[in-house]
């Protein structure tokens, strides 16, 4: 059997076993018989396995460990920026430890006026990306360890969890001295010049991550350029591979100028799976943010209309993307030097009429697991967090978060932990554009953004076409020239 818990629950399980508060055999039985819809905390409390005070202390310990990971990653990012000298940073970290982490490093940097608020927000965003990758790796290891615990096998090695992490002056998160360093996928079976089924040739390495690698390639007969995505061998029996297959099945059926289409898929002679997709000679919107911060009003809404146009087509096929974020929006210049956009990565997409689409494709479509929150926390819709039934309006909420970032250069909820970000999406009103950017914006733009970020999907624009109509009728007339903006840095 397979038990799926949230990351903090796995950490709690590990901590309780290692501290001796709960015997391993008892925890195994709890996991095996965990009722559907109940959490580990519920069972521990209801069965009086731990006293209320012990359980509360254990939960606080998990929260503290999570916070220490975030704080350490942030410290390492600041160290790598070289904006703060090493001795000063050491003194701040020492002060933070002595204060039992009551103050965040960001607060201390602002208090000492060592970095400006926008600088701190930028490096916090970078830290979130690093922490997300670290947490996913820890979750994967935790699930593997949990399966070993349930089956009673002792063959696998102990998993690294937040319990093994301590914030030290010169130490980064587990398994790395520098969490800023990207994990680069280096699969010896894949290399430039590799011929794929006598049809494609790999050319240059574009990038890689935890799931695999992407190469620039070409179709041999036509010399047409493509991007070729390979998946790691060791992920073939995991949920990551299902995501890979889902992206092939969904994106191959989408043909639109603002969608990265998948054209072909196969397997190399030495067993590595791949798919062939549009090559976009540009960069992600996230890269544009890092270079320029906020975008001009005109460019923001030009790109937004392309996002909505592509999404409208996707939604017409009864598909919800569910992972819209700047990294999945690819920007390039067309022949007239105008910026164009394509939506990428349909690995988390949900097909609303799955049975009909399976009949059209002649293949089954893998579905994501019910009850598991899917998406990127900074851009996720409240109904997804609540695990309500979702539809295309969840994508419109993500569009609202992206628009906020386009206009201000920051996210509406730029917090350090996933839990704080999620709480913001669920209950906090996003800051007004003027307060987030110290610039004036027309009321029509503020009202439009507020409507996209409504907590209740019924209060948002009900379709991409509705949103496009508002932009064309109420906002485009305001953009020549950009009112109240003055000179803006960036593209």
The C-alpha atoms of residue 361 and residue 76 are separated, in whole angstroms, by 47
177, 183, 109, 122 alpha-carbon torsion, rounded to 10°? 170
Interior angle at CA 291, CA 290 and CA 295, nearest 5 = 90
- Pairwise CA distance, residues 367 & 249, whole Å: 12
Residue at token pair 């096929």? 317
DSSP H stretches of helix in 252-325 = 285-292, 297-316
Q: Determine the longest span between alpha carbons in the chain, in angstroms.
A: 70
Check if 323 is active-site: yes
* Residues composing the chain: 491
Angstrom CA distances, 274 to 85, 194, 266, 285, 402, stand at: 45, 12, 6, 25, 30
Which stretches within 52-116 are classed as H helix? 52-81, 86-98, 105-111
Structural tokens at position 183:
């994990």
Residue 83 pairs in a beta bridge with: none
**Burial tier of 384 (Cβ tally within 10 Å: 0-12, 13-18, 19+):** buried
Cα separation, 213 vs 185, in Å, equals: 6
455, 412 Cβ separation under 8 angstroms = no
The structure tokens 């579905």 sit at: 367
Partners of residue 207 on adjacent β-strands:
214
C-alpha to C-alpha distance for 211 and 185, rounded to whole angstroms: 8
Catalytic residue among 323, 335, 345, 428: 323
- Indicate which residues carry an active-site annotation: 323
């Amino acid at each position: 059997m397979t038990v799926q818990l949230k990351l903090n629950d796995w950490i709690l399980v590990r901590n309780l076993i290692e501290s001796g508060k709960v015997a391993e055999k008892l925890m195994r039985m709890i996991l095996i018989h965990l009722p559907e819809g109940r959490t580990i905390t519920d069972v521990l409390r209801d069965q009086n396995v731990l006293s209320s005070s012990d359980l509360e202390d254990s939960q606080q310990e998990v929260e503290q460990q999570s916070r220490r990971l975030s704080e350490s990653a942030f410290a390492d990012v600041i160290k790598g920026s070289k904006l703060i000298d090493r001795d000063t940073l050491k003194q701040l970290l020492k002060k933070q430890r002595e204060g039992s982490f009551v103050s965040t490093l960001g607060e201390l940097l602002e208090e000492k006026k060592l970095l400006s608020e926008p600088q701190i927000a930028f490096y916090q965003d970078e830290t979130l990306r690093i922490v997300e990758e670290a947490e996913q790796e820890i979750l994967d290891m935790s699930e593997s360890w949990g399966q070993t615990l349930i089956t009673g096998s002792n063959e696998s090695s102990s998993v690294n969890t937040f319990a093994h992490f301590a914030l030290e002056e010169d130490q980064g998160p587990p398994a790395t001295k520098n969490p800023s360093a990207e994990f680069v996928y280096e699969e010896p079976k894949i290399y430039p010049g590799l011929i794929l089924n006598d049809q494609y040739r790999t050319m240059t390495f574009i990038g890689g991550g935890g799931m695999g690698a992407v190469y620039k390639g070409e179709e041999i007969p036509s010399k047409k350029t493509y991007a070729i995505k390979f998946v790691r061998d060791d992920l073939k029996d995991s949920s990551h591979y299902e995501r890979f297959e889902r992206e092939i099945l969904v994106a191959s059926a989408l043909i639109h100028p603002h969608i990265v289409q998948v054209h072909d898929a196969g397997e190399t002679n030495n067993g590595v799976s791949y798919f062939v997709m549009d090559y976009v000679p540009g960069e992600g919107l996230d890269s544009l943010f890092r270079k320029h911060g906020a975008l001009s009003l005109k460019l923001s809404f030009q790109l937004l209309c392309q996002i909505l146009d592509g999404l409208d087509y996707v939604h017409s096929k009864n598909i919800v993307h569910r992972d819209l974020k700047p990294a999945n929006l690819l920007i390039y210049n067309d022949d007239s030097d105008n910026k164009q956009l394509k939506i990428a990565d349909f690995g988390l997409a949900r097909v609303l009429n799955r049975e009909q689409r399976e009949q059209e494709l002649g293949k089954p479509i893998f579905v994501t697991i019910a009850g598991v929150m899917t998406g990127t926390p900074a851009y996720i819709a409240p109904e997804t967090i609540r695990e309500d039934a979702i539809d295309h309006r969840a994508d419109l909420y993500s569009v609202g978060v992206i628009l906020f970032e386009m206009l201000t250069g920051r996210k509406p909820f730029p917090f350090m932990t996933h839990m704080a970000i999620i709480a913001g999406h669920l209950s906090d009103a996003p800051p007004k554009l003027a307060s987030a950017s110290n610039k004036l914006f027309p009321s029509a733009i503020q009202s439009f953004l507020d409507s996209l970020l409504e907590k209740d999907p019924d209060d948002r624009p009900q379709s991409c076409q509705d949103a496009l109509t508002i932009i064309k009728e109420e906002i485009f007339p305001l953009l020549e020239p950009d009112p109240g903006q003055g000179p803006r840095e960036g593209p």
